[in-house]
């Protein structure tokens, strides 16, 4: 991975991106101070901006470009936590909680980023109610997104389990003569029991699979019309 | 009567009636022990992994006890009775369960590494759970898969069942 970056000059007073960031409410006097306590760098696509377990030295303000925040899952696979773009701040969680970074920040495209000195930023935030309010709003919005993500992940997990159950049914009972219809008729309660979910969720998931053209529901019978998509949905490539 | 059916019954009973209930009991002990301790107070990463492991284990035992074991045993003694021939695809069932077993082993290693880092007390029942997964579970499942592989090669009931399922696959 590339780690070299190039420094450049950038004035906060004339920065348009700042107007869309948490620093939009800061007055001109403080902007001058802010300008004196930051440095700016350009990062090439693929460069690491900070790494997991690193200690924060300051707050990153993205001027341009896209950045991904990611970490490795239990299976070693990369899990993208969030995408960040111009006007966003980066690394504030570790900075505010005096913790290490819990993820990696990697440039998805060429980026220009300023870093505001840690001590100065914390002092400035404490002295400026408008700034601290903007930061609270930013943290709350990110928390809301993270909570929505958890909900979507847990639903995805049930979807995977439903696909897995259908694969088990197919391997156990095989198909009828049409080579698509499962040769077993299980009640929705029985299917829900295998999936480990409520009957209502099982019914909803089967209906979703039907809409996605993975299966076709014919009365109580289930036709597997796209076995490849079903295997992909089961995500069994552990 | 197929000579292999008795060893089939023996091993499925050993796993389904003894090993799995024992592991389920250990999971419950961890949950009870932990009401106010390690998992609940720790980062959600450890807690999430533990409950994912529990859920994966319950799912595997559910599939094996309700579908896989009865299906495998149903293959015996049907080689000459085409009308009774089950349409089970043993190889596919074996692949599906092996993938779940692999995930379980990965999760056990993840949780173990995490609890080692935080210096979990020796008496914590998670240690026993790790031991059972790393030893008994791995050993019994290896025996089971070796037996299935052996039957695939040397038992006419099995080769006949696989031919049957390959025949169906070829029709697609």
Can you tell me the distance from the alpha carbon of B9 to that of A231, in angstroms, rounded to the nearest whole number? Answer: 30
Residues in B touching A167 (Cβ below 8 Å) = 92, 96
pLDDT band at B170 (very low <50, low <70, confident <90, very high): very low
Domain of residue A216, CATH code: 1.10.10.10
Flag whether A118 is in a domain.
yes
Q: What pLDDT is recorded for position B167? A: 40
CB contact under 8 A, A238 and B58: no
Which pTM does this prediction carry?
0.62
Q: What pLDDT is recorded for position B168? A: 39
Nearest by CB to A236, which of B96, B165, B172? B96
Statement: residue B169 has pLDDT above 50:
no
Q: What pLDDT is recorded for position B38? A: 58
Look up the ipTM and state it: 0.81
Can you tell me the distance from the alpha carbon of B7 to that of B13, in angstroms, rounded to the nearest whole number? Answer: 10
pLDDT band at B149 (very low <50, low <70, confident <90, very high): confident
Q: Which residue range(s) make up the domain with A69? A: 6-127
Flag whether A51 is in a domain.
yes
Please check whether residues A19 and A105 belong to one and the same domain.
Answer: yes
Flag whether A145 is in a domain.
no
Please check whether residues A22 and A74 belong to one and the same domain.
Answer: yes
Q: What pLDDT is recorded for position B114? A: 82
Burial pattern A13-32, b for ≥16 Cβ within 10 A else e, equals: eebebbeebbbeebeeebbe
**For residue range B13-61, what is the model confidence (pLDDT) as tens digits?**
999 999 999 999 999 998 888 665 656 555 566 777 888 899 999 999 9
Flag whether A144 is in a domain.
no
Rounded to 10°, the helix B20-33/B125-132 angle is 160
Strands (E), B37-161: none
**Gyration radius of chain B over CA positions:** 19
Please check whether residues A69 and A170 belong to one and the same domain.
Answer: no
**Shortest distance, CA B150 to any CA of chain A (angstroms):** 20
**For residue range B91-145, what is the model confidence (pLDDT) as tens digits?**
899 999 999 999 999 999 988 988 887 777 888 889 999 999 999 999 999 999 9
Number of domains, chain B: 1
Q: What pLDDT is recorded for position A153? A: 64
β-bridge partners, A64: A112
CB contact under 8 A, B103 and A175: no
Please check whether residues A19 and A109 belong to one and the same domain.
Answer: yes
The segments of chain A whose pLDDT lies below 50 read: 1-3, 238
CB contact under 8 A, B96 and A173: no
CB contact under 8 A, A236 and B89: no
């Amino acid at each position: 991975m590339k780690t070299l970056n190039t420094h450049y000059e950038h004035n906060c007073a004339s920065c348009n991106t700042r107007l869309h960031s948490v620093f939009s409410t800061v007055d001109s006097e403080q902007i001058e101070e802010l300008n004196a306590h930051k440095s700016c760098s350009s990062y090439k696509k693929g460069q690491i901006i900070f790494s997991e377990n690193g200690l924060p030295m300051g707050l990153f303000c993205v001027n341009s470009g896209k950045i991904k925040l990611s970490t490795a899952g239990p299976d070693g696979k990369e899990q993208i936590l969030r995408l960040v773009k111009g006007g966003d701040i980066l690394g504030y969680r570790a900075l505010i909680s005096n913790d290490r970074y819990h993820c990696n920040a990697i440039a998805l495209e060429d980026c220009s980023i300023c870093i505001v000195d840690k001590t100065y930023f914390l002092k400035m935030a404490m002295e400026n109610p408008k700034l601290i309010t903007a930061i609270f709003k930013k943290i709350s919005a990110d928390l809301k997104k993270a909570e929505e993500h958890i909900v979507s992940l847990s639903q995805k997990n049930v979807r995977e389990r439903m696909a897995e159950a259908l694969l088990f049914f197919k391997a156990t009972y095989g198909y009828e003569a049409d080579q698509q219809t499962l040769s077993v008729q299980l009640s929705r309660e029985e299917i829900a029991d295998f999936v480990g979910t409520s009957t209502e969720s099982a019914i909803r998931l089967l209906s979703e699979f039907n809409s996605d053209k993975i299966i076709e529901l014919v009365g109580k019978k289930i036709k597997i019309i796209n076995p490849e998509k079903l295997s992909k949905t089961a995500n069994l490539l552990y | 009567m197929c000579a292999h059916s008795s060893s089939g019954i023996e091993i499925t009973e050993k796993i389904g009636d003894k090993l799995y209930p024992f592991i389920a009991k250990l999971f419950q002990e961890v949950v009870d022990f932990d009401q106010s301790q390690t998992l609940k107070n720790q980062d959600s990463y450890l807690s999430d992994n533990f409950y994912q492991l529990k859920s994966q284990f319950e799912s595997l035992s559910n599939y094996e006890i309700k579908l896989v074991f009865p299906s495998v045993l149903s293959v015996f003694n049907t080689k000459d009775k085409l009308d009774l021939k089950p349409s089970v695809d043993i190889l596919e069932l074996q692949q599906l369960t092996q993938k779940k077993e692999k995930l379980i082993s990965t999760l056990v290693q993840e949780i173990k590494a995490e609890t080692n880092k935080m210096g979990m007390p020796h008496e914590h029942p998670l240690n026993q759970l790790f031991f059972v997964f790393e030893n008994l579970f791995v050993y019994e499942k290896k025996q089971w898969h070796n037996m299935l592989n052996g039957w695939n090669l040397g038992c006419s009931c099995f080769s006949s069942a696989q031919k049957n399922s390959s025949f169906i696959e070829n029709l697609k």
